Copies of this chain bind each other. A is one copy, B any other.
Amino acid sequence: MTLGAMQDWPLRVTHLIDHAGREYGQREIVSRWADGSETRTNWAGIRHDALRMSQALHSAGVGKGDRVATLAMNHARHLVTWYGAVGVGGVLHTINPRLFDEQLTYIVNHAEDRVMLYDAVFQPIIDRLCDQWPTVGLYVCFDPPPGSDVLSFEEWIGAYDGNTAWADGDERDPCMLCYTSGTTGHPKGVLYEHRSTVLHAMAAVQPNLFNFDSRAVMLSVVPMYHAASWGLPWAGAIPGIKFVCSAVNDPAVLCDLMRREGVTHSAGVPTVWLAMFAQLDSDGKDVRDLGALTTAVIGGSACPRFMIERLMNNGVRVAHLWGMTETSPVGTAGAYPWNWEEMSFSEQVDLVSRQGRSAFGVELRCVDLDDPTKALPRDGVTSGALQVRGPWVIKRYFKAEADCTDPDQWFDTGDVATIHPDGTLQLTDRTKDVIKSGGEWISSVELENAAVGHPAVAEAAAIGIYHPRWDERPILVIVRKEGADCCAEDIKAHLVGKVAKWWLPDAVEFVDDIPHTGTGKISKKDLRERFKDYKLAD
């Protein structure tokens, strides 16, 4: 017999949009479309349209557990789709349109998507692949050009009045599916649950993470198809933040939106800021001229030191984020430590250069690369395989037959990292890419970072090459900058003092291009394949 109880209130994603619609109904959602037009709605409008969309899906026979796919950039109709697909009890499946055709075909079939919602700019993908997507019975275009005969989103939901209720269900029901851009094998699906998504959202708004109060204005340059868009479309509903969405990533457009809309928070990968800096430079402006910006959350890859310095010098808090599709995705974020004010600027930049601290709900540990049962000390020196655990960390991939965690539920991230005594995480490499030489590990990422500091280097990749005595030795593969010149000895000389002596590469090879994956990362797998017959001198 129960002695007393608190209420039953399943952690369903629909509570998020109900809350935003009710408590922050008038707060704006701004969309800047590919054709340059702008539209405005608000949280009440998003909710109403999501209810209408859930009616439209229901009429189309789409219901509990059915996958609803999108191929789209960031805009309010895409946001409606997130809540509308989930609201009918379905599973939102955001697809990265930059993937190769064979991956797109695999993913849609593996997910058994029932509906495909897409931006007009991706019509060629639809035309090219729809015959290979037998499960998709309905195509809806978010922004059909005038005179087009495809089904328009506004027309589709326009037939409904929104007078319906969200589908009920358990908090462990799935709500979203994202495929990882694995570098080997088929893409793998991560199936988020209502519960994991709501808990992740409640964490994301905290001061140590995105720090969203109801005054926040977010321009996210994280595509809504990428890693659940860092969970922002869910988290933003909690304090009802103003979202500014852009369907194009042109830096001139982004700078203009930041200024005009009073953007306080931005989120994106470092390359976005590279482009923004170039734009600001050509305009004779700096970051502080963007107006209200207080916070730049940067993740996806390591944020260069000069970028952190420039943003901080302009009064912007830089929060380095680490996570992955498998972690919903936020694992750590750059939080202010308690002694922040006592640190020198240089110490602050050192700290911000790391990947932040674990959110409450994410447990981190590093284990020995050779012996994953051996947990490593948090000494800021010893690096090993990074493992995570928590309520928004994956347990089992979509349609997999076994869990992807160890018996204690630790998930191996594939990252190599060290944890400092103060709890901050510092990534050093990917497990697959780290180079083993004479029984010791060399970080390919640190070699690359040191190499790109040379003024003639556009891009650098370090890989391990078989060596009869040392097992592996590193070589550097380099693309020179347009018109620049340098030789192997220049690069080696540049590295001296920046990395341990025994890390210095045995060879430097210059190439015209380095292979990339569908998501723009260096494909070490393809590079290793290209250099598989490479021979080092003894």
Which A residues lie at the B interface, using CB under 8 A? 2-9, 11, 15-16, 19, 22-24, 27, 65, 172, 174, 189-193, 195-196, 199, 202-203, 205-208, 211-215, 237-240, 242, 328, 335-338, 340-341, 357-358, 360-361, 389-400, 403, 405, 409, 411, 423
Contacts and interface: CB of A to CB of B under 8 A. Distances in A.
Contact of A4 (B237, B361, B398, B423): B398
Nearest to A26: B422
Given A214-B335, A215-B336, A189 B360 contact: no
B2 A396 contact: yes
A372 to B, nearest CB: 18
Given A7-B409, A202-B360, A207-B207, 17 more contacts: A3-B174, A3-B398, A4-B189, A6-B193, A6-B196, A6-B391, A7-B390, A8-B395, A22-B423, A23-B423, A24-B423, A202-B206, A206-B213, A211-B213, A214-B336, A215-B336, A242-B338
Counted per complex, copies of this chain come to 2
A360 B16 contact: yes
Majority DSSP secondary structure for residues of A touching B:
loop
Given A5-B193, A391-B11, A360 B27 contact: no
A213 to B, nearest CB: 4
Nearest to A326: B6
B191 A3 contact: yes
24 contacts: A3-B191, A3-B399, A4-B190, A4-B191, A4-B395, A5-B191, A5-B396, A6-B195, A6-B196, A6-B392, A7-B392, A7-B394, A7-B405, A19-B358, A23-B358, A23-B423, A202-B203, A205-B207, A206-B207, A207-B207, A207-B211, A214-B336, A215-B338, A237-B360
Contacts of A3: 65, 174, 191, 398-399
Contacts of A4: 174, 189-191, 394-400
Contacts of A191: 3-6
Given A4-B399, A199-B202, A360 B238 contact: yes
A306 to B, nearest CB: 26
Most chain B beta carbons < 10 A, residue from A8, A238, A394, A411: A238
A338 B336 CA distance: 24
Contacts of A208: 213-214, 239
A509 to B, nearest CB: 41
A335 B393 contact: no
Nearest to A422: B26
A197 to B, nearest CB: 9
Contacts of A409: 7-9
Contacts of A337: 214-215
Contacts of A361: 9, 15
Contacts of A215: 336-338, 340-341
Contacts of A398: 3-4
Contacts of A174: 3-4
A338 B214 contact: yes
A53 to B, nearest CB: 23
Contacts of A205: 206-207
Contact of A6 (B238, B336, B394): B394
A328 B391 CA distance: 22
A207 B213 contact: yes
Nearest to A213: B207
A208 B6 CA distance: 23
Nearest to A212: B207
A399 B206 CA distance: 36
Nearest to A195: B6
Contacts of A394: 4-7
Contacts of A240: 338
A239 B397 contact: no
A7 B395 contact: yes
Contacts of A360: 15-16, 19, 202, 237-239
Nearest to A23: B423
Most chain B beta carbons < 10 A, residue from A16, A189, A336, A391: A391
Q: Which 4 residue pairs are nearest across A and B when measured between Cβ atoms?
A: A4-B191, A207-B213, A9-B391, A6-B196
Most chain B beta carbons < 10 A, residue from A4, A338, A340, A357: A4
A534 B398 CA distance: 74
